[in-house]
Amino acid sequence: MSRAIYGTIEEEIRALKKERNAVIMAHNYQIGEVQDAADFTGDSLRLAQEARKTNAEVILFCGVHFMAETASILCPDKKVLVPDLEAGCSLADMIRPEDVRQWKAEHPDGLVVCYVNTSAEVKAESDYCCTSSNAEKVVRSIPEDKDVLFIPDFFLGTYVKQRTGRKNMELWRGYCPTHMLIQSRDIEKLRAGHPGAEFIMHPECGCLTKSMHLADRILSTEGMVRYVKESPAREFIVATETGVLHRMRKDNPGKNFIPASVHAVCNYMKMNTLEKIVASLENLQYEVKVPPELAQRAYLPIERMLSIV
Ligand code: 13P
C-alpha cells in the first residue's frame, strides 16, 4: 500500500478507511480518540446491528474479541479485523462450552440464555443470546414453563430475575472484574456529596444487589448515553467502565458526569490505539474469522438477540 504523508494520524486513518473500504466500530468503553475516529460508537447491541447493515468490505472492530466474533458470524463475507488480538473479556472467559454442556445435562428441559459477552463456542451451545439492552425482553419471550439457564453474568442475571419475577431461572456465577471495582460505599458517599445528581448504573455492577435501590436508572451503556441527553438533570453519577463518560461529556457540554469509581477501567478495552488502527488498516491485521460450522450454530441465538429488541 502506498504511503502518503498525512498531517495527523486521524487524517491517515480517514484515508486508509477509504482505500480499504473499511468501517470502524468502537465500543463505548474505548479510549476517547478511538471513539472519535470511529464511524459508529455504541453498546454491544448497536454495534452488532450496524455490523449487519454495513456495505463496507472491512469492519475494524475496536472493542474486545467476542464483539468481533459476533460481527464475523453476522457478516461472513466481510473481513473483520481487530487492532489487538489480546483484547479479550474476563467475563466471557468465565464460562467454557463444556461448562454449558454439563449445565444443560443437569437441566435437560432448560433453555440457555447467554449474554453477548461469551465466546462463539459458548454461543453455539446456547438457545438465545442477549445484551444488557434487551436481556429482560429476551427472558420474557421464553415460555414460562421452560427453565432459564442464564450465563455468564450473575449480576445481570439477578437484575433480570428481579425485573421479570421469574422463579425458574438459574444463574451462572460469572462477573466482570471491572464492574466489580465499583463499590456500594463509594456510591453512597458520592450520592451524599452530590444530592442533585442522578445515579445511573450498569447491570453488570458487582454491587448491583446492594445498590439497586439507590439507582435512578439501570441501563446498558447506550441506554445511559441516551438517557443523560434526555434527562433535565445537570449532574450524573455513572456506574460503569469510565470510557462511556467521553461520549456523555462530548454530547452534553453543559452537564457534569462523575464516575462512580475512577478505578473502573477495563485494560482490555484500552488496548486499542490510533497507531494500532493504522497498522490494522495498512496490513489488514488481525482478522477474526469464526469457522463456518461454528458460525452456523452460533447464528440462531445471535439472530434472536437482534430480533427481540
Ligand atoms: P453494553 O455496552 O452492551 O452495555 O455492555 C457493556 C459490556 O460489558 C461490554 O463488554
Task: Select the CATH number that applies to the domain covering 182-259 from these four: 3.30.70.2660, 2.40.50.140, 3.40.50.150, 3.40.50.10800.
Answer: 3.40.50.10800
- Give pLDDT, residue 5: 78
191-220: per-residue pLDDT in tens? 999 999 999 999 999 999 999 999 999 999
277 in helix, strand or coil?
A: helix
Q: Specify the CATH number of the domain 3-88+269-290.
A: 3.40.50.10800
Task: List the chain domain ranges.
Answer: 3-88+269-290, 92-175+296-307, 182-259
The fold of 92-175+296-307 is Rossmann fold (3.40.50)
Contact 46, 134 (CB under 8 A): no
**Which candidate, 227, 197, 201, places its Cα nearest to that of 212?**
201
Report the separation in Å between the CA atom of 261 and the middle of ligand 1, taken as the mean of its atom positions: 17
Pocket of ligand 1 (CB under 6 A): 28, 43-45, 89, 117, 131-132, 176, 204, 220-221
Confidence at residue 79, expressed as pLDDT on a 0 to 100 scale: 98
Q: Give the integer Cα–Cα distance in Å for 7 and 1.
A: 18
Kindly state the percentage of the chain with pLDDT values over 90.
97
Give yes or no for residue 280 having a pLDDT over 80. Answer: yes
249-278: average pLDDT: 98
The model's pLDDT over 6-55, given as tens digits with 9 standing for 90+, comes to 889 999 999 999 999 999 999 999 999 999 999 999 999 999 999 999 99
Place of cell 487492532: 83
Residue 3's pLDDT is 58
CA-to-CA distance for 261 and 274, rounded, in angstroms? 26
Q: With 90 as the cut, is the pLDDT of residue 223 above it?
A: yes
- The atom number, within ligand 1, closest to the CA of 45 reads 3
Partners of 114 in the β-ladder: 129, 151
Instruction: Say what the pLDDT of residue 173 is.
Output: 98
Q: What is the pTM of this model?
A: 0.95
Residue nearest to atom 4 of ligand 1 (CA): 220
Say if 3-88+269-290 and 92-175+296-307 have the same CATH topology.
yes
Atom of ligand 1 nearest to the CA of 28: 2
* d(CA 268, ligand 1 centre) in Å: 13
Kindly tell me if the per-residue pLDDT of 2 is higher than 60: no
Statement: residue 4 has pLDDT above 90? no
